[in-house]
Structure 1
């Protein structure tokens, strides 16, 4: 259910912009179209954002925070060995309801956006580096040597990206498949 128009927040606009991005690509991030989706006037948009460029910047910042830093903080908040943290990372990465942001295809849409937009590309690169470094650190904490940590992190992260892409058009249990991949990457203790 949508919030009444008087209570729309910048987050509501950001979520609607991500839904537009996921459905129709970066050219769909337009104040008028998003206002129509939210059933409000375009003036409401300008209450929260200077212009569409500011919305796009806030979208990327929001995504970086919610889909990377918040997840890492959540995983780190749980005590336990690094193997359990890796399992928890898979759970939260595949179990989060992203429908408010356009569903599982939003990450692919951001990657596509980054192909054509320098700012999106820089943020995506930063996010990828942060995520891979974090997973690499978890494998290091498991006792793996640096080259294996890197390879395992890339395989696990690449698996997540690939499963997200496949699940857009096919029913795939991303959590189960990623858990199997993690099990294969983790040598018996």
Structure 2
């Protein structure tokens, strides 16, 4: 009788969840095995060591938080404003994504102590900005305007999760809609 193994993706997802909730120090093989209800031996079927898991977690995050988001924004086509609206919706919902903005925060924190993670984060952020530049560049002719809109868009996406504000009777969703309308003018 064949032994059922915990899928590699389950280890990666559990590792990302541990990273998100407790930082890179919380990504421990024993803890993940207990969470998954398996022995440590199953881990070594898929990964040589903890570092290999951490690398694959970064790969999954990069693919999920960049490639998958861009693919969803591009999926139904449309002009640049339509794709930007779709990008905003996908980023806000996190629907169907393995990681979320809080995983991003955990990786940003991790990158402050690990140069290789910092380099990966820079690559991801640059890819995200390149995609935003491509879209905003389709309807903005001034390169300074494109750069300002891209930077503001990116900063709002990251920063809005860190704020706890009253918006003068407006909901956070209404304020985000106002920001998006301004960016898309």
TM-score where L is the length of structure 2: 0.87
The whole-number CA distance in structure 1 between the counterparts of 2:66 and 2:177 is 19
Q: Contact between 2:20 and 2:103, CA under 8 Å: does it hold in 1?
A: yes
Q: Contact between 2:64 and 2:97, CA under 8 Å: does it hold in 1?
A: no
Number of the residue aligned with 1:35: 33
Classify the secondary structure of the residue corresponding to 1:105.
helix
Question: Where does structure 2 lack aligned partners over 5 or more consecutive residues?
Answer: 165-170
Q: Over aligned residues, Cα RMSD in angstroms?
A: 2.1
For residues 34-183 of structure 1, the aligned pairs below 5 Å read 34-97=32-95, 101=99, 104-166=101-163, 176-183=174-181
The whole-number CA distance in structure 1 between the counterparts of 2:98 and 2:146 is 34
The whole-number CA distance in structure 1 between the counterparts of 2:16 and 2:159 is 20
The whole-number CA distance in structure 2 between the counterparts of 1:134 and 1:175 is 24
> 1:175–1:73: structure 2 CA closer, same or farther, 3 Å change rule?
farther
The whole-number CA distance in structure 2 between the counterparts of 1:174 and 1:115 is 30
Classify the secondary structure of the residue corresponding to 1:55.
helix
The whole-number CA distance in structure 2 between the counterparts of 1:115 and 1:67 is 19
Aligned length: 177
The whole-number CA distance in structure 1 between the counterparts of 2:49 and 2:16 is 16
Larger Rg: 2
Relative CO higher for 1 or 2, CA cutoff 8 Å, sep ≥ 6? 1
More helix by share: 1
> 1:176–1:87: structure 2 CA closer, same or farther, 3 Å change rule?
farther
The whole-number CA distance in structure 1 between the counterparts of 2:172 and 2:27 is 28
The whole-number CA distance in structure 2 between the counterparts of 1:51 and 1:7 is 17
1:120 deviates by 1.3
